[in-house]
Structure 1
Amino acid sequence: MMAVLVEGLSVVVRNDALLRKFHGGPRRFQEGLQDESICFDNDLTCIHLRSPDEVERFIGWCESMGLTFSLGGKAADIVVLDQRQGPTLQCNWIAHSVLEIDDGENKCRVRICWFAAEAPPVSGTRVPSLQFDIQTPVGWRVKGSLSESHVFVPNQR
């Protein structure tokens, strides 16, 4: 089963929504992410951000391009996940869990999420019976990652 890595504050977008609703489609979306930390699987695209201000600006851009953040207090095309707490809105199209990963030299616990549109399992619990192919940003390593260090960059005010 494919899943994407959640680090910092991660904005997760449904790939089918990019195809149906995003002005310019997935190519335009990726062009807008040149400096971002991104990973994706067949169903989800995940952008790792470090502060609430970055998340707010990014979601504003996504909405200006045709995506919907929330409807009735629930995630529509986009959901934000905190690496420690999980989704910031109720979302019925993802499931998430924390797993320990080992890259051969280092170990750490990471949060992952995956597309689960049909009755997702209880999120945030251990899922030992499932095997995941975890998608990470290019060059991502356990050593020095946000998952390893749990660093959060607060807004500068």
Structure 2
Amino acid sequence: MAVLIEGISVVVRCNAIVAAYKGGPEQFTAEVPNGSLRADGQIAAVTFMHPTDVEQYVRLLEARGLVFQDAEGTHDIVVVDQRTGFCNPCTWADFGTTPWNGDQSRLVAVCALDAGQPQKVVVPEGWAYETSLTARHRFVENDPVSEGLRFVRRDGDVNVYLDEKTGKEFYSVQGVGVGSPVTH
């Protein structure tokens, strides 16, 4: 099996959650900060839109007993970008794409412990391809205004932009430079 990778996903070995996470799997599940958790029994994944959120979540996981990196590379946790794959070298998992429901025009990014096995993709509860980050994401390399987006408001530290062609809103954290994700 495999888990869906969207945005920037934090992937964790399930056996590490059982063996080392303070409070075990129940506490791990309770501390997931959003509704994106999915697991295939070997790995679990949680999606974030911004690197700062990823860093905070990885710190929480480490505080609960998991190991992000050691001398040999990633240990219990690996960060995976939907577009580019592993953010750090990882020898214990595989990243790639697979057709969603056999449709070659709908590729989804996945992570699995054993890429040699037939891949059923586990997605978050309520996930649908048509409304997913996979189907609708945009990645802004520089100034969002140059990409046809108009700034409309600030919500805390999040800038909200409007795509005037589609009417959809996109988000970015203020102060993030080149390469910041803006997603819907």
Smaller-chain TM-score bracket: 0.7 to 0.9
Is the Cα contact below 8 Å between 2:79 and 2:88 reproduced in 1?
yes
Measured after TM superposition, the shift of residue 112 of structure 1 is 0.5
Q: Which residue of 2 aligns with 1:25?
A: 24
Partners of 2:38 and 2:50 lie apart in 1 by 18
Measured after TM superposition, the shift of residue 74 of structure 1 is 1.3
Identity score, percent: 31
Partners of 1:156 and 1:3 lie apart in 2 by 34
Q: Which runs of 5+ in 2 are unaligned?
A: 140-170, 176-184
Relative to its length, the structure with more strand (as a share) is: 2
Partners of 2:41 and 2:81 lie apart in 1 by 22
Partners of 1:74 and 1:108 lie apart in 2 by 32
Pairs within 5 Å for 1:4-153: 4-33=3-32, 35-72=34-71, 74-102=73-101, 107-116=105-114, 131-152=118-139, 153=171
Partners of 1:59 and 1:36 lie apart in 2 by 17
Is the Cα contact below 8 Å between 1:12 and 1:78 reproduced in 2?
yes
Q: Compute the TM-score of the two structures, normalised by the length of structure 1.
A: 0.83
Letter in 1 for 2:19: R
Partners of 2:71 and 2:138 lie apart in 1 by 32
Relative contact order higher in (CA < 8 Å, ≥ 6 apart): 1
Q: Which residue of 1 aligns with 2:149?
A: none
Larger radius of gyration: 2
Runs of 4+ in structure 1 off by over 6 angstroms are none
Partners of 1:34 and 1:66 lie apart in 2 by 18
Partners of 1:139 and 1:50 lie apart in 2 by 18
Is the Cα contact below 8 Å between 1:53 and 1:155 reproduced in 2?
no
Secondary structure of the equivalent of 2:131?
A: coil
Deviation string 1:9-29 (CA, Å, 9 cap, x unpaired) is 000000010111111111100
Q: Which residue of 2 aligns with 1:127?
A: none
Measured after TM superposition, the shift of residue 82 of structure 1 is 0.2
How big is the alpha-carbon RMSD for the aligned residues of Structure 1 and Structure 2? 2.2
Letter in 2 for 1:61: L
Measured after TM superposition, the shift of residue 155 of structure 1 is 3.1
Q: Which runs of 5+ in 1 are unaligned?
A: 122-129
Is the Cα contact below 8 Å between 2:35 and 2:124 reproduced in 1?
no
Q: Compute the TM-score of the two structures, normalised by the length of structure 2.
A: 0.72
Q: Which residue of 1 aligns with 2:162?
A: none
Partners of 1:147 and 1:98 lie apart in 2 by 11
Secondary structure of the equivalent of 2:138?
A: coil
